[in-house]
Structure 1
Amino acid sequence: MKNRNAAESARDERITTIIQDTVKPIVRKIDEEACYPLEFFQELGKSGLLHSQDVPEQEVLRAGAHLVEETAKTCMTTAFNLWCHLAALTYVRKSANPFLRERILPRLENGGLRAGTGLSNPMKYYAGLERLCLRAERVPGGYIVTGQLPSVSNLGSDHWFGAIAAVDEQCRIMALVPCSADNLVLKEKRNYLGLNGSATYACEFRGVFVPEEWILSEDADHFVKQIRPAFLLYQIPLGLGVTEASIQAIERMQGKQGGCNRYLPVQAEELADELFVLRKATDRLIASADLQDRWHDLLQVRLTAVYLTSKAAYAGMLHAGGAGYLQHSDVSRRLRESFFLVNLTPTVKHLEKLTKEAPAPSCCPVPDPPLSTLQIEA
């Protein structure tokens, strides 16, 4: 146990150092100038923090979730990019494709390559919200894919991303596609309220040839059930990190203007208590023998994380007062980050639909919809 604790402490020190050295100095540039935190990913890879070979799956999940949370405390844009990368890592780790596992996965884990998810539209398709945007035609050696994905994040010239395309009514395939593929046209999108440093692009497939070595699965319907638990789980610490940062900011502002913040309806102690419960629920999910069996619980924890993050970020603005209304303030940035989390696939509407269709879970309290709605709209 002593050696394990020493190893965890050393890992935490590496994480802190990387975030302090490569993210914290450029948070404003990331938020305001759409600066991409390339050095962060390179240093993560070099440090071995993304390594998964011979590591139990639960440990991989736990380490990834912790890394996302620690990053989100400083910058949720960077943490979101990291989530994109971890989701793509999950796709390759779950695939049986030898080319992707032997040639691409090591480079994704050692900082040589980066990747995005590309599954916003497919996740909505599987929930009955949208039609699939991509179509695939079987040809010798692979598929020809056409269509357009409206938004895929964490992309760049040497990045890869996941994509699902319909071959016919019964068959859908999933592939990992490089941004450098012929006949793939990327158009950058920067007109968001926040997270413009997320390297988000519209991706148009103008007859892109996808060879068999890029295919993650020729049965996407089954494959999605394997990858979606980690896809969702890695999103939860985005909210945990922003909530923790908001609590810390509220605590620092306790003595402002003669201590009048104590009269505000939401205090740090209440948020900390709710965060503690949410963290425990997340830990229990990670410790589950099979996350696929806990899918409905996972949905509820993810939904609760959204509402708590919105509550904490809004409370941070109230405690900051006029200082929080400044354009460059950290509390206003966190408020915008919380708005993004509301709209990250699966969105609040998407999650509410799925949870209302599912049995009530036992691992996390159900949020109060009227209060949560008030806090998001405020």
Structure 2
Amino acid sequence: MNARVDATALDWFDSHAEALNRGNADAERVVPELGRRGLFRIGVPQALGGDGGDGFDAVEAIAAVAERSLSAAFVFWGQRTFIEFLLQTPNDTARERWLAALLDGSFAGASGLSNAMKFLSGIESLQIAATPDRGRWQLDGTLPWVTNLRKAGFVVAAAVQRADATPMVVALTDSQPGISRSADLDLLALRGSNTAAVAIEAASIGDGQILHPDARSFCPQVRPAFLALQLGMSIGLARIALRSAGAQAKGAHALVIPRIDATSGELETLAAELRAGLAGGHFTTRAAALFRIRIRLAGIVQTALGLELDATGGRAYLNAHNAGFARRWLEAAFIPVITPSLTQLQGELAKHAAPPAGTVTA
């Protein structure tokens, strides 16, 4: 547990986990509840209104929430990632406009840069076009899948394609003309995460909403935080599954204890590697190392849930005995497909490993 997170302060997420997963709880409360506990301030410089610490402290905070509710952790990731964009943007106007309200949880921030991360890898084209318009920019396009689009108000980051072929990163708010939010997507789980699509039609922005004029520079710069914060979800989900497995492994099921211990050891080793890589700034230029951690952590989540099932046996199918297991099983199904998906990352690693075109191999 992160020393900056009071475990008892997370009881609300524990008690609402099932309802948030099914979409039966008030999703609008998640951001304010996270903000009220000061969780968004972790890893943010004190000079900017945060509590200090480093990026891995924020990862651990998301992991702590993920142990209670992956829906809430998913929202936490979206908000904290947008906060990170504001910490790294050269645009002081944007930071001054939104950061304070995002830190205290009175406003929601969403990362719409999944499309941009795929664009950088050549997987897909940008889905929003920017056209010059009398000293401003007119935007048209769509963001098909974005989390933390709180109905009470949000700001979302997006990469847009300019006519001169240089993409830029912008921030859009739900209150400006031309921005509309769809109904919540019909997800299998994590239904209380305010996940929806954004339609953009003739939306006009000025310089104050440009987070960076060059997405090809900004996205690699923020990608380590984007992915590392995301990995907090995997770390937390694996930890709670392994802890539950250890508690359930009795009698004949005690045979799985060595596997639980080995998996827990590997999990914490990867968490330590993630901490070291962030502290040293290595992932900015060595993205493949971060991709490998992401892939391996996804595998550990699946192993951890399998061990929880093995340790629990038939009782895992009885809600009265282990209601949290069924929710975690569904939550875990999301880990491999969250952008960038495991398939996309494996494709990236394969490209890095492939010899240059024209190379003759024996």
Report the TM-score, using the length of structure 1 for normalisation: 0.85
Whether contact under 8 Å (1:19, 1:40) holds in the other structure is no
The CA distance in 2 between the partners of 1:80 and 1:279, in whole Å, is 18
* Paired residue type of 2:316: G
CA shift at 1:234, angstroms? Answer: 0.7
Q: 1:31 aligns with which of 21, 36, 40?
A: 21
CA shift at 1:320, angstroms? Answer: 2.6
Whether contact under 8 Å (1:317, 1:335) holds in the other structure is no
CA shift at 1:180, angstroms? Answer: 2.1
Over 3 Å counting, the alpha-carbon distance change for 1:35 and 1:143 in structure 2 is farther
Q: Which runs of 4+ in 1 moved over 6 A?
A: 55-58
Whether contact under 8 Å (2:27, 2:193) holds in the other structure is no
The CA distance in 1 between the partners of 2:54 and 2:135, in whole Å, is 34
Question: What's 2:5 paired with?
Answer: 12
* Paired residue type of 1:238: M
Question: What's 1:170 paired with?
Answer: 165
- Which shifted more, 323-332 or 137-146? 323-332
The CA distance in 1 between the partners of 2:236 and 2:116, in whole Å, is 27
Question: What's 2:93 paired with?
Answer: 99
Whether contact under 8 Å (2:185, 2:197) holds in the other structure is no
Question: What's 1:225 paired with?
Answer: 220
Matched, 1:115 2:109: yes
The CA distance in 1 between the partners of 2:241 and 2:159, in whole Å, is 37
2:40 is paired with a residue whose SS is coil
Report the TM-score, using the length of structure 2 for normalisation: 0.88
CA shift at 1:268, angstroms? Answer: 1.5
* Paired residue type of 1:100: A
Question: What's 1:368 paired with?
Answer: none
Question: What's 2:357 paired with?
Answer: none
Q: Which runs of 5+ in 2 are unaligned?
A: 355-362
* Paired residue type of 2:245: I
CA shift at 1:48, angstroms? Answer: 3.9
Over 3 Å counting, the alpha-carbon distance change for 1:34 and 1:291 in structure 2 is farther
Over 3 Å counting, the alpha-carbon distance change for 1:266 and 1:132 in structure 2 is farther
CA shift at 1:46, angstroms? Answer: 4.0
Q: 1:79 aligns with which of 37, 54, 73?
A: 73
CA shift at 1:186, angstroms? Answer: 1.3
The CA distance in 1 between the partners of 2:353 and 2:288, in whole Å, is 7
Identical positions, percent: 22
Matched, 1:66 2:60: yes
| CA deviation map 1:329-378 (0-9, x unaligned) | 21121121111010000101011112233369xxxxxxxxxxxxxxxxxx
| CA deviation map 1:255-307 (0-9, x unaligned) | 2xxx2223459832122121122122122112214541332211111111111
The CA distance in 1 between the partners of 2:154 and 2:24, in whole Å, is 17
The CA distance in 2 between the partners of 1:189 and 1:12, in whole Å, is 30
Question: What's 1:134 paired with?
Answer: 128
2:181 is paired with a residue whose SS is strand
Question: What's 1:313 paired with?
Answer: 305
| CA deviation map 1:203-253 (0-9, x unaligned) | 111211123211111211111111111001111121111111011111121
| CA deviation map 1:88-137 (0-9, x unaligned) | 11111111212211121111112221111011222112111112111111
1:272 is paired with a residue whose SS is helix
CA shift at 1:72, angstroms? Answer: 0.6
The CA distance in 2 between the partners of 1:65 and 1:177, in whole Å, is 26
- Which shifted more, 316-325 or 122-131? 316-325
Over 3 Å counting, the alpha-carbon distance change for 1:250 and 1:265 in structure 2 is closer
* Paired residue type of 1:33: G
* Paired residue type of 1:23: F
* Paired residue type of 2:9: I
Q: 1:42 aligns with which of 12, 22, 32?
A: 32
Question: What's 1:365 paired with?
Answer: none
Q: 1:270 aligns with which of 242, 256, 262?
A: 262
- Which shifted more, 229-238 or 275-284? 275-284
Question: What's 1:344 paired with?
Answer: 338
The CA distance in 2 between the partners of 1:272 and 1:194, in whole Å, is 26
Over 3 Å counting, the alpha-carbon distance change for 1:64 and 1:36 in structure 2 is farther
The CA distance in 1 between the partners of 2:123 and 2:82, in whole Å, is 23
The CA distance in 2 between the partners of 1:59 and 1:286, in whole Å, is 12
The CA distance in 1 between the partners of 2:146 and 2:195, in whole Å, is 5
The CA distance in 1 between the partners of 2:65 and 2:27, in whole Å, is 12
Question: What's 2:156 paired with?
Answer: 161
Whether contact under 8 Å (2:249, 2:312) holds in the other structure is no
| CA deviation map 1:12-66 (0-9, x unaligned) | 32xx23311x211211110112535544432443444433234699933022111
Over 3 Å counting, the alpha-carbon distance change for 1:34 and 1:164 in structure 2 is farther
Match runs of 1:134-213 below 5 Å: 134-157=128-151, 158-168=153-163, 170-213=165-208
Whether contact under 8 Å (2:130, 2:160) holds in the other structure is yes
2:189 is paired with a residue whose SS is coil
Q: How many residues align?
A: 346
The CA distance in 2 between the partners of 1:138 and 1:268, in whole Å, is 57
The CA distance in 2 between the partners of 1:192 and 1:267, in whole Å, is 32
Match runs of 1:242-321 below 5 Å: 242-255=237-250, 259-263=251-255, 267-321=259-313
Over 3 Å counting, the alpha-carbon distance change for 1:221 and 1:282 in structure 2 is same
Over 3 Å counting, the alpha-carbon distance change for 1:205 and 1:266 in structure 2 is farther
Whether contact under 8 Å (2:110, 2:156) holds in the other structure is yes
* Paired residue type of 1:19: L
